[in-house]
Amino acid sequence: MVEGKQGHAQDSSRRLNTHIMMQAMPTEQPWTIARLLEWTREHFARKGMEKPRLDAEVLLAHVLGVERIALYTGFDSVVEDDVLARFRECVKKRASHCPVAYITGRKEFFSLAFEVSPDVLIPRPETEFLVEKALALARGHESPTIVDIGTGSGNIAVSLAVKLPDARVIATDLSDAALTIARKNARLNAVEGRILFLKGDVLEPVVAEGVTGEVDLLLSNPPYVAEDEWPGLMSDVRDFEPHAALVSEGDPLRYYRILAGAAQDMLAAGGYLMVEVGAERAHGVKKLFRDAGLRGIDCVKDYEGINRVIIGSVN
């Protein structure tokens, strides 16, 4: 009975919020695409959204079932009531700082489409630097063996499998829910049969698979946020994205330490360990690579000049 009362209260609250929002949206003129985008942009700007116009366009294109470019060719089109109702729900969620990708269930990464949910971290543009560097290094290997640790949505592994049809790709994660989404994304991008998905912590499933000493590219975008840094994250991240995918409890360098320590055993001759880092972790990660005996240690900066990818190799 308690659950039923809670559900009824939540439904009533949702109806009230929708009613309030509908009242806030003036209705004396038809809701054309142009007018709706402008109203939503202003609404999101007042709510402190970083990219209010882009958010408005992505959400409206989502409920209309069209590409964003189609909005510009239909500015004067009047939005039907049923579409408007669905759009209002999306706007309400975004105004509460729910990430756009979780509302639409999709996120583009490396020009590919990926399904996402609150079970996985939303792919970031910064991670494309890791993929780009991996592609460049993979060209020096015939049929490279690639391992992606903590695959999440599968964005790294799937992107590499798409671009490297001769590669052997292994992707791991500790989360069953994340692996389910990663497999969906492999199917979505037609590489399902070319990626081996394994469940387990860090390198354990890879070792069990028997590829020790055979890995040409060992990649990871591991959790590196310290627990005491969590409260200071943007609400879009802190209140919606999976804690375990972001926070390395106890030691923010834990995963880097494990990967660097095992690199000499895991990597084939001429193989590379490549990891994404936050700016504040770069120095510590480079030291871990040096202490592990890795050579040719390099740091790739992103477009903002922030240290983003650390690379080391074995002889």
- 229-251: per-residue pLDDT in tens? 889 989 999 999 999 999 988 88
pLDDT of amino acid 3? 36
The whole model's pTM is what? 0.88
Q: Are 251 and 280 in contact (CB under 8 A)?
A: no
Q: Are 87 and 59 in contact (CB under 8 A)?
A: yes
pLDDT of amino acid 18? 42
CATH number for region 2-96: 1.10.8
Amino acid at 105: G
Q: Residue 157 — pLDDT band, cuts 50, 70, 90?
A: very high
Q: DSSP character for 198?
A: E
Q: Hey, which residues does 148 pair with through a beta bridge?
A: 171, 219
CA-based nearest residue to 265, from 203, 200, 212, 207? 212
Residue 261 neighbours by CB under 8 Å, 6+ apart: 288, 292
Pairing, β 307-313 against β 168-173 = unpaired
Architecture of domain 117-313: 3-Layer(aba) Sandwich (3.40)
Under DSSP, is residue 48 helix (H, G, I), strand (E, B) or coil?
Answer: coil
Domain locations along the chain: 2-96, 117-313
**Residue 53 scores a pLDDT above 70:** yes
CA-based nearest residue to 111, from 80, 132, 90? 132
Per-residue pLDDT, averaged over 207-219, amounts to 96
Q: Hey, which residues does 218 pair with through a beta bridge?
A: 147, 273
Per-residue pLDDT, averaged over 120-145, amounts to 95
256/289 Cα distance (integer angstroms): 9
The two domains 2-96 and 117-313 share their CATH topology (first three levels equal): no
Q: Residue 20 — pLDDT band, cuts 50, 70, 90?
A: very low
**Residue 6 scores a pLDDT above 60:** no
64/26 Cα distance (integer angstroms): 21
